[in-house]
Amino acid sequence: MKSYKKHSKTIAYLLFIAIIAIFLLVFNQAASKSLTKDVAERLSGKDQTILWGVKNDTKLFGYYNVETQEIEGFDIDIAKELTRRITGDAENARFIEVTSKTRIPLLKNGNIDAIIATMTITDARKKVVDFSDVYFAAGQSLLVANDANINSVKDLTAEHTVITVKGSTSAKNIREAAPAANIIELETYADGFTALKAGQGDAVTTDNAILLGLLVGNDGYRVVSENFTDEPYGIAVNKQQEGFLSQINQHLADMQADGTYDQIYNKWFGELLAKGAE
DSSP per-residue string spanning 28-55: HHHHHHHHHS-HHHHHTSS---EEEEE-
278 assigned to some structural domain: no
265 and 202, same domain (yes or no):
no
Claim to verify: residue 79 and residue 124 sit in the same structural domain:
yes
Per-residue pLDDT of the chain (278 residues; tens, 9 = 90+): 545 445 555 555 555 555 554 443 433 433 333 445 789 899 888 889 999 999 998 889 999 999 999 999 999 999 999 999 999 999 999 999 999 889 999 999 999 999 999 999 999 999 999 999 999 999 999 999 999 999 999 999 999 999 998 877 788 899 999 999 999 999 888 899 999 999 999 999 998 988 998 998 888 999 998 899 998 999 999 999 999 999 999 999 999 999 999 999 999 998 777 654 55
Residues 145 and 214 in one domain: yes
The answer to whether 183 and 162 have CB atoms below 8 angstroms apart is yes
Residue 103 belongs to domain with CATH number? 3.40.190.10
From 39, 44, 25, 61, select the one nearest 107 (Cα to Cα): 39
Q: Which helix (H) or strand (E) holds 115?
A: strand 114-115
Claim to verify: residue 163 and residue 108 sit in the same structural domain: no
Total number of domains constituting the chain: 2
- Beta-sheet strands, E only, within 59-109: 62-65, 70-72, 93-97
Whether residues 173 and 262 share a domain: the answer is no
pTM of the full structure: 0.76
Q: Do 155 and 70 belong to one domain?
A: no
